[in-house]
């Protein structure tokens, strides 16, 4: 799932950033503004998607789990694999599956070969829920992306890719000297 933080309504403007730059000389105002804008656009879109899904009682991560199951030829997977593909902990996945099970959108059976495993399967009701949600989702994504021409979209992808390659700067020991 996509898990963001910071729903910045109020990104600092250049004036405020200048104040911070006075105290922290490392500050590069343009970099910070670009960075925060990128985060904000992603965060707002993510919130928009959520509110769309909420209209179908599909809170956040549960939708993604259903999609992961639908991708599989036998509509099945295990909690561990789902957790890995969704990028959440196994503990979180337990909670998501509990909720989906309560609404009977998935079923669970104990594994035969490996008795530690549990097999999660998309039910007919789960598939029906996706059939209800997905057309509107795709329509909205199309509408959103019509903001860009095809060339612009490719351009955006390539710019994002350049940034994405440096995503590890925030980790423990980035090489900070260029």
Partner DNA sequence: TTGACATAGTTAGGTGGCTAACTATATGCT
Partner DNA sequence: AGCATATAGTTAGCCACCTAACTATGTCAA
Of residues 144 through 163, those in contact with a second copy by CB under 8 A are 144-148, 150, 152-153, 155-157, 159-160, 162-163
- Identify the CA nearest to 108 among candidates 126, 91, 92: 126
Q: Which is nearer to DNA, 4 or 27 (CB)?
A: 4
- Determine if 78 is a binding residue for DNA (CB under 7 A): yes
Helix axes 90-102, 79-86, angle to 10 degrees: 110
CA distances from 60 to 3, 166, 170 (A): 9, 27, 26
Q: Going residue by residue from 5 to 24, which x/- string records binding to a second copy, judged by CB under 8 A?
A: xxxxxx-x---x--xx--xx
Both tokens of 176, joined, read 């900070």
- Which one of a second copy, DNA, none interacts with residue 79, CB within 5 to 8 A by kind? DNA
- Determine if 43 is a binding residue for DNA (CB under 7 A): no
Both tokens of 52, joined, read 């769309």
- Determine if 85 is a binding residue for a second copy (CB under 8 A): yes
Q: Which is nearer to a second copy, 50 or 76 (CB)?
A: 50
- Determine if 133 is a binding residue for DNA (CB under 7 A): no
122 DSSP β-pair partners: 106
């Amino acid at each position: 799932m996509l898990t963001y933080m910071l729903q910045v309504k109020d990104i600092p403007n250049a004036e405020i950033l200048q104040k911070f730059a006075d105290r922290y000389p490392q500050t590069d105002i343009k970099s910070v503004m670009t960075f925060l804008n990128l985060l904000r656009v992603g965060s707002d879109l993510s919130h928009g998607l959520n509110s769309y899904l909420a209209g179908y009682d599909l809170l956040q991560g549960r939708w993604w789990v259903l999609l992961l199951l639908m991708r599989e030829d036998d509509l099945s997977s295990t909690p561990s694999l789902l957790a890995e593909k969704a990028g959440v902990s196994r503990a979180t996945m337990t909670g998501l599956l509990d909720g989906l099970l309560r609404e009977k959108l998935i079923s669970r059976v104990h594994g035969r070969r490996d008795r530690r495993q549990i097999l999660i399967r998309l039910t007919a009701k789960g598939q029906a829920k996706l059939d209800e949600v997905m057309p509107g989702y795709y329509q909205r994504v199309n509408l959103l992306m019509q903001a860009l021409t095809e060339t612009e979209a490719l351009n955006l992808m390539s710019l994002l890719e350049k940034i994405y390659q440096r995503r590890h700067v925030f980790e423990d020991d980035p090489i900070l000297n260029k």
